[in-house]
Structure 1
Amino acid sequence: MKSKQTFHPKKQDDSKLQLEQKILHYRSEVAKYKKQAEELRGLLKSARKKGHTGQKEGEGSYSPRVSLAAKAYFSYSTFLPREGEEQDNQIHAIGHFTFENTGNHILHDPVFCFRTKPANRVNIGGKIRMTQALDHTWMTPKEEWVYVQNDWKEWVKTKGEHWLKPVHIDTIKPGEKAIFSNFDMAVTPGKKDDHILIEGFCYARELQKGIASVNTISLYL
């Protein structure tokens, strides 16, 4: 004899109730996460309007903007020949020429250029080595300069340009200065009413177009 299958409606109702409760729970969780997502979107939108993302200093991909800035200037005094002095009838402009890094980025391989008009009327003296041969002493000089070109005499004669680079430094950090100190620019007098002009320019690997000095040495003879 076959046994009759017994149904339990109460168990079925309990299973159905549990399933509905789970569905309600999941719906509630989904609604909660949607609300949190909306709140986060609002916070992000507000932060963008204020110009920040809530990151701490030094975090994220933010990097300061590179500022390349510099200035150059002469500071000097002019000395006229003494009356009746035959040994030295030249006019001397003695002083310093400064290349200052006013930006926030290191400047590499500084180069100075002094341009004289007329050409070949001004002799520039200072801590200049007349050859580019290396000095193999173990001590680095406090200040020493060399001409950039091997044919620098021709440049001076035809263009009146003295291109010099420092031996003792190769970088100028932000806020620091490279100074061609205690120069002696000796001007040979010529015809009356002559105008002697000495201009200064500075260059670096990052400033290949160069900058002109804010002032010049201008002499009327």
Structure 2
Amino acid sequence: MGTKDKLSYERLISRVDYYKEKALDLEKKLVFAEETIERLENEANSDQSLQIIEEKEKELQLLRTQVEELTKKVKRLEEHEMEKRMKSYEELLKSIQQEMNDKDQQIDLYQQRIKSMEKRININRTSEPVFEETETETAKTEMQKKEGFNCISYFDYSVIFTKDKKGFVRGSFYLENTGTETLENPYICFRFQPAEACALKGKIISLIASPTQDEMSKSIWMYMDNDWAEKAKDRGEMWICPLRETKFKSGDKLTLEDFQIPFKSKIDENITVEAFVYFHKQNYRSKAVNHIAINF
């Protein structure tokens, strides 16, 4: 409550007290007048006494009218005071509710960060996936397909050239569970040839960069910021995974939308980008059905 509101409130209280005292004083006068009238009626034996009685009755009626008006004013002041208090309480409740909403949003952000940090810890504990296409690995993949694990992934992209044979690839990467079993938390590896071309941008966040609440709420994917992922980047591999726990059942799809891969012709005459998907919990891995090829 501001200083101005406090002074107005104190004036209102003083005015109410004044009118209450005034009403009490008038009631005392009314009682005194009634007693006087009664005494005069008992002593009245002349026209002068009757005239005095009439005057006293008029004075009494006037006093009654004043008492009624003062009573109404007191009632209005009390109602005004109550309305003012109610408005003050409503504003206080609104402020408290806003603070609670802000705290809830902060709690949600902290919970998301905690889950993300837990996921980073789990990623750090995960052994590095290796995508060597040997006969043994191919046979293992085929066996997993028979057991109900199967994921089809592919690129949808376009190559945009700018000046001096520079440019970028813009596209999306799609995953679809075509098996019968539920798949969880896909780790996606984009392998670049040559390794110097390794770069991937888009709606992907890095927990090391301390993303904002808005970025956390709008993002689905994050970079895998751990030791072996950094070493893999030197080999030309970029690893990402979902920001939150992700499960997709048979027939469900996941998408990495609107990614960009910048390139320069000075790196090499040709650039290729392959993709591999690895499901750690199910020990299942698959290769994308197509790849990105840039020829200068």
**TM band (smaller chain):** 0.5 to 0.7
| Percentage of pairs with the same residue | 27
Match of 1:155 in 2: 232
1:121-140 deviations in whole A, cap 9, x for unaligned?
Answer: 14211112122578695996
Match of 2:105 in 1: none
Q: Going by fraction, where is helix more abundant, 1 or 2?
A: 2
Match of 1:75 in 2: 156
Larger Rg: 2
Distance in 2, Cα, partners of 1:138 & 1:121: 30
The two structures have a TM-score, normalised by structure 1, of: 0.59
- What is the identity, as a one-letter code, of the residue corresponding to 1:202? V
- What is the identity, as a one-letter code, of the residue corresponding to 2:275? G
Match of 1:102 among 178, 182, 195: 178
User: Residue 198 of structure 1 contacts residue 216 of structure 1 at CA under 8 Å; is this kept in 2?
Assistant: yes
Query: Is the aligned partner of 1:113 residue 2:189?
Result: yes
Distance in 2, Cα, partners of 1:199 & 1:74: 9
1:143-174 deviations in whole A, cap 9, x for unaligned?
Answer: 33222242444432x21101100114511111
How far did residue 82 of structure 1 move?
Answer: 4.3
Q: Deviation above 4 Å: which 4+ runs of structure 1? A: 132-140
Distance in 1, Cα, partners of 2:215 & 2:166: 35
Match of 2:257 among 174, 178, 181: 181
Match of 2:278 in 1: 203
How far did residue 78 of structure 1 move?
Answer: 0.8
Larger relative contact order (CA 8 Å, sep ≥ 6):
1
How far did residue 191 of structure 1 move?
Answer: 5.7
User: Residue 147 of structure 1 contacts residue 164 of structure 1 at CA under 8 Å; is this kept in 2?
Assistant: yes
Distance in 2, Cα, partners of 1:139 & 1:198: 27
How far did residue 120 of structure 1 move?
Answer: 2.3
Match of 1:124 in 2: 200
What is the count of residue pairs matched by the alignment? 150
Over 3 Å counting, the alpha-carbon distance change for 1:122 and 1:136 in structure 2 is closer
Over 3 Å counting, the alpha-carbon distance change for 1:220 and 1:167 in structure 2 is same
Secondary structure at the counterpart of residue 125 of structure 1: coil
The two structures have a TM-score, normalised by structure 2, of: 0.45
Over 3 Å counting, the alpha-carbon distance change for 1:132 and 1:178 in structure 2 is farther
Unaligned runs of 5+ in 2: 1-145
User: Residue 132 of structure 1 contacts residue 146 of structure 1 at CA under 8 Å; is this kept in 2?
Assistant: no
**5 Å matches for 1:48-59?**
none
Match of 2:220 in 1: 144
Unaligned runs of 5+ in 1: 1-64, 84-88
Q: Going by fraction, where is strand more abundant, 1 or 2?
A: 1
User: Residue 96 of structure 1 contacts residue 182 of structure 1 at CA under 8 Å; is this kept in 2?
Assistant: yes
